[in-house]
Amino acid sequence: MTVRHERQAGLGRGLAALIPQRATGPGPTEIPIVSIRANPWQPRRRIDEEALESLTASIAEHGVIQPVLVTEMLDGYQLVAGERRLRAAQLAGLDRIPAVVRQLADREQLELALVENVQRADLGPLEEANAYRQLIEEFGLTQETVAARVGRARSTIANTLRLLELAPAIQAALSDGRLSEGHGRALIGLPPEVQTRLLDSIVGQALSVRQTEELVRRLREPKPVPPDRARPGQDADLERVEEDLRRSLGTKVSLARTRRGGRIVIEYYGNEELERLYERLIGGAA
């Protein structure tokens, strides 16, 4: 109980509070950059190039202020935390870099790399979800334990993990920034093929998270079947057109035949959505 409390309290003081300390261990030391290998447990898969260039310029002028964290190997060192600092130091032409050397197990390496990135808000939602899954599946941690280690609520861990259930196309859109985590959460639970069909509408029409949630809610509503359309197989083409319009406009659309033609009912929920539909319809007709 005491250990867990100390671990959670440490998050407020930064990554250094989580690093296992030796009672008489050495402080930071400079080591050759060429002797450091990449961290195989690094949860981050993308690095902002603009931010990296800025950090490189800073390091070229002032040097590396905060040491990286490494663990010692038989043939050198393995990076645990500080990937951007290491890359920037290489780009700045440095041969050596200040480092704190610790003996860490694989799980601790992933844990510390994850905590550093979470604290710096450096991870994308899927990178974070994959790191949580790795801690659970490969190292046997529970969601409660992961939550305690990274300073998050257990419900946050569970909701983030659910992003891994999304269709591949949605996950790709999350990874490249076309969709936000909120958009992804709104689509959870829909069949994969429906998620994929909605992607073009959400991105193409720049739907907000709220609008996406409303769209999903309408799609989940049971569609009433009028008496004149109750016979099996009747008006299949009309239903297909209705579905296409619903996906294209991002709102509920109803079609009904009459003796001399029919009618199209397009629903909207608020002035903002009415303006969006107006622009969509007028623009498409122009």
Beta carbons within 8 Å of 251's beta carbon, 6+ residues apart: 215, 218, 266, 267, 268, 269, 273, 277
| Residues designated catalytic | 83
Task: State the burial class of residue 139 (Cβ atoms within 10 Å of its Cβ: 0-12, 13-18, 19+).
Answer: middle
Contact (Cβ atoms closer than 8 angstroms) between residue 160 and residue 171: no
Sign of the CA dihedral 259, 260, 266, 271? Answer: negative
Specify the residue for token string 């979800």: 129
The residue count of the chain comes to 286
DSSP 151: T
Sign of the CA dihedral 235, 236, 237, 240? Answer: positive
Beta carbons within 8 Å of 214's beta carbon, 6+ residues apart: 269
Contact (Cβ atoms closer than 8 angstroms) between residue 125 and residue 184: yes
